[in-house]
Amino acid sequence: MLAAQLDAYLAEANIQATDKQKQQLLDFVALLNKWNKAYNLTSVRDPEQMLVRHILDSLVVSPHLQGDRFIDVGTGPGLPGIPLAILNPDKTFVLLDSLGKRIRFQKQVQFELGLDNIVPTESRVEAYQPELRFDGVLSRAFASVDDMLNWCHHLPAENGVFYALKGQLADDEMASIPAGFELKDTIALQVPALDEQRHLLKIVKE
């Protein structure tokens, strides 16, 4: 049932995935559903809704990513980082969260799905000092754009991009992008079976 839905959603979103990747995405949903009962990782309880609101909602960002090294800030159970890592085995994703139970879940996913391109990392973003900076800094439902840029300003490489995944765009939030940063692109995203607005903001340091 879920496998057929996933196939349909991927086709609608024009996203290519191998059979192995599809199985990994389904296995991730199964683990999220299983662990959610004890760990309360997400307010979404239904696996079919997880497929839309977590998996596809993450994957629609994939065509817009540029570079090899990414950090997913405030990733929670690994969103959007884990679905994006499954779809992009050639890219590395550091999954940053301050809650240990979320990191334990990510490590279990890493083990069970055989993902060698994710790095679960327990830290507050302000305290995290990477050895190498990132091509892309991702955040999904993490904070306001203003807070994201202030807290994460030390993370991108010289030509790195901030990728902020937002729902409906608020004028006041867009107007409060701090000095020293430039909004390069605003992309409207279409998530299959989701009748809500989704946007991707691409922001760079000036």
Binding site listing: 74, 79, 125-126, 140
Whether 161 and 201 have beta carbons less than 8 Å apart is answered as no
Give the pair of three-digit tokens for residue 111.
């083990």
Q: How far is CA 111 from CA 35, 59, 190, in A?
A: 14, 21, 31
**75: Cβ contacts below 8 Å, ≥ 6 apart:** 81, 95, 96, 97, 102, 106
DSSP assignment string, 27-46: HHHHHHHHHHHHH---S---
Q: Which residues are annotated as a binding site for S-adenosyl-L-methionine?
A: 74, 79, 125-126, 140
Whether 72 and 137 have beta carbons less than 8 Å apart is answered as no
